Amino acid sequence: MMHDPQTVAWLDQEDARLAQLIRAHRWAVQYVGEGDDADEPRFGYTIGLSGLGHPELVVVGLSPEDTHGILEGVAGVVADGRDLVAGELLAFPDRPDGLVVEELPNPGEVVLGANRFYERPAEYSVPAYQLAWAHRDGLFPWDEGYARGPGFQPRPGTWHA
């Protein structure tokens, strides 16, 4: 438990800022850069869709700009009343190969900010979907010949924050 007054004050300010963002826009995007461990991917996720009765959305392995763009676009569709379903292929003009909605089996290890916002412990995490994207060569992570390395996206449940 944190008792450092500076840290507590900073977290309180961040919580208030996040609540204000979600009140104004219905959701916010949290981006997490690569950690100290080279095996930890960069990723982003929504905070606020759970309040609309929908799983949060996660995108792994892309730049902050691309991650934000995808999450804003898909979250907007959800906020307008569309419920996504695991296994579904989403088509957007700027993503001709589409995005595939996948169940994220370990959201308590990934959407830490959403759980903090909703005051949920990891073991009772808000649900989340991981949005899989096609690599530059048009292959998805499950396709034969998909190249692993920098800029790849790990499979749902095989990584954590």
* Segments making up each domain of the chain, as ranges: 38-161
> Concatenated DSSP letters for 17-42?
HHHHHHHHHS-EEEEE---SSTTSPP
Contacts of 53 (CB under 8 A, 6+ apart): none
Single-letter amino acid, residue 111:
V
pTM of the model: 0.91
Quick one: pLDDT at residue 45?
98
* Span 28-83, pLDDT tens digits: 999 998 655 666 789 999 999 999 999 999 999 999 999 999 999 999 999 999 99
